[in-house]
Amino acid sequence: MDVITFGESMVLFNPDAKGPLRYIHTFSKALAGAESNVAIALARLEHNVGWFSKLGDDEFGRYIECFIRGEGVDISRVIKDVTKSTGLLFKERFAHVNPNVYYYRKNSAASYLSTDDIDYEYIKSAKILHVTGITPALSESAKETVIKVVDYAKENNVIVSFDPNIRLKLWSIEEAKPVILELCRKADILFPGIDEAEMLLGISEPKEIIEAFHEMGPKMVVLKLGKEGCRVSDKEEEYFVNGYTVKTMEDSVGAGDGFAAGFLSGLLRDKSLKECGEYANGVGAMATLVKGDVEGLPTYDQLLTFIDKKEYVDR
């Protein structure tokens, strides 16, 4: 396996029109989940990827399995729990503000993920382990699991990639901060956003942020700067990599996951640090061009064409 990742994927119900949900008559089913987004992005970029989570042994869980496996991701380590439900979320979209999200994930199967559910040999088989700051927010046992798997990976020379993904709907910043910082310290590659850096470190100057994170441990810090692009550093080199101007952003959800996948893909292909940053910017930008978390994610050929021509070209 090139990359292994795990974390909760949910069935997403999208309203068929904008406005308050009470006036919406029909909803369409889709997939949501930061870690499975990264996995699918990497699979489309031709890497061997594994993803797992704990799912309810119900039709929603089977939908998630079929979708992710269909994208070419190994799901052999997914765990099914007949006594629990698969988590759901509903979006409420408006033209003028960010969508609202209604979660039905409390006590979901995934929140019962525990250290006993892990196939450690499988973890060891990966070049890179990718985790996010969402999983430790789900439950105490999920938090323990993330930390134990990360520790296990480090002990076994698996590179640890960490995207803080601080979700204040799931826990308070007071609860989140020590856990996220602990995982930052354990990570080899870190994907903070500028807002997250401010919440965690209280500083907002990019160069300072990178330095501060390096001091905590990570060898690679990839600071996301939104449309501006990103700043990448491996302690030896440091670059600002210009972003892409996307005139017709359709859906920003999933962009950060695509970004991380783009960077990891560059690493796995032994690209230079700067090229890794360009891949990250490219996949992130392309993800925003199509509605849905994963629908706009590019193949490797499409990514190269996009970076080259700065435009999206489906072959």
Give me the active site residues, please. Answer: 257
C-beta of 57 vs 182, nearer to its own copies: 57
Q: What is the C-alpha separation between 39 and 6, in angstroms, rounded?
A: 9
For the bound state, the minimum distance from the C-beta of residue 311 to its own copies, rounded and expressed in Å, comes to 7
C-beta of 244 vs 263, nearer to its own copies: 244
Considering only 46, 48, 58, 226, the residue that binds its own copies (CB under 8 A) is: 58
Q: Is 235 in the site for its own copies (CB under 8 A)?
A: no
Q: What is the C-alpha separation between 308 and 310, in angstroms, rounded?
A: 6
Q: Is 102 in the site for its own copies (CB under 8 A)?
A: yes
Considering only 71, 74, 196, 238, the residue that binds its own copies (CB under 8 A) is: 71
255-314: which residues touch its own copies (CB under 8 A)? 289-292, 295-296, 311-314
For the bound state, the minimum distance from the C-beta of residue 237 to its own copies, rounded and expressed in Å, comes to 32
Helix H or strand E encompassing 129: strand 128-132
Taking the CA atoms of residue 257, residue 260, residue 264 and residue 267 in that order, the dihedral angle to the nearest 10 degrees is 160
Span near its own copies by CB under 8 A; candidates 64-72, 204-212, 234-242, 257-265: 64-72
Span near its own copies by CB under 8 A; candidates 67-75, 121-129, 171-179, 268-276: 67-75
Span near its own copies by CB under 8 A; candidates 94-102, 115-123, 165-173, 276-284: 94-102
C-beta of 94 vs 120, nearer to its own copies: 94
Q: Is 106 in the site for its own copies (CB under 8 A)?
A: yes
Q: Is 19 in the site for its own copies (CB under 8 A)?
A: yes
Distances (CA, A) of 282 to 228, 265, 286: 12, 12, 6
Residues in the chain: 315
Considering only 142, 246, 255, 260, the residue that binds its own copies (CB under 8 A) is: 246
Q: Where are the alpha helices (DSSP H) in 158-272?
A: 173-186, 194-201, 206-216, 255-268
Q: What is the C-alpha separation between 303 and 45, in angstroms, rounded?
A: 9
Span near its own copies by CB under 8 A; candidates 52-60, 176-184, 205-213, 261-269: 52-60
Burial 240-269 (b: 16+ CB within 10 A, else e): bbebbebeeeebebbbbbbbbbbbbbbbbe
Q: Is 3 in the site for its own copies (CB under 8 A)?
A: no
Residue 195, CB-side half-sphere exposure with 13 Å CA sphere: 6
Q: Is 16 in the site for its own copies (CB under 8 A)?
A: yes
Residue in the structure block whose two tokens are 């799912």 = 55
- Where along the sequence are the contacts to its own copies (CB under 8 A)? 13, 16-29, 57-60, 62-63, 65-67, 69-72, 82, 85, 88, 92, 94-97, 100, 102, 104, 106-107, 246-248, 250, 289-292, 295-296, 311-315
